[in-house]
Amino acid sequence: MTHLPQDFRLIEDFYRTRRSVRKFIDRPVEEEKLMAILEAGRIAPSAHNYQPWHFLVVRDEEARKRLAPCSQQPWFPGAPTYIIVLGDHDRAWKRGAGDSVDIDTSIAMTYMMLEAHSLGLGATWVCAFDQALCSEIFEIPAHMTPISILAFGYGDPTVPPRETFNRKALEEIVSFEKL
């Protein structure tokens, strides 16, 4: 059995402090932080290591304006940076009648969202958006689907984080040996 250094035990606190951030200050995300977030997505695991993703970064003002109509959320246009996570169906592991794109891109998205948190940035995972419109606006090829969008930047410090973190009790969501 491998024993991790004591510092790794802090990961539970790290997970518990992450919150969805939907209000951002007008401060661009530094290039090195953006690249660290993208690197986190790049190294994420995927089925058969096929890595069926592509990360489309949207950060200049004109591109952000084009992206804005893809979501009806009032806060959505306020982020300084977005990563549209695209699933590449041609590169995905085939699974029954479908493929692994949703699962694999979700793992990559989780890695990127947690990396943003580790860098002091706020982020929100967006899956309620018009995929067809997004594909049209950004001329995404037919073999790719926009699966989710990571909206991120420096959170507005005047908006306090929610203190309550409503999660179901383990007894409600876990079974042993039978359902």
- The DSSP line for 68-117 is GGG---TTGGG-SEEEEEEEETTSSPEETTEESHHHHHHHHHHHHHHHHH
Angstrom distance (rounded) from CA 123 to CA 110: 11
Q: Quick one: pLDDT band at residue 144, thresholds 50, 70, 90? A: very high
Average of pLDDT values for 135-159?
A: 97
Question: What domains are defined for the chain?
Answer: 21-155 (3.40.109.10)
User: Quick check: helix, strand or coil at residue 168?
Assistant: coil
pLDDT digits (tens, 9 = 90+) for 19-77: 889 999 999 999 999 999 999 999 999 999 999 999 999 999 999 999 999 999 999 99
pLDDT score at 109: 98
pLDDT score at 160: 83
Angstrom distance (rounded) from CA 91 to CA 72: 31
Q: Kindly tell me if the per-residue pLDDT of 1 is higher than 50.
A: no
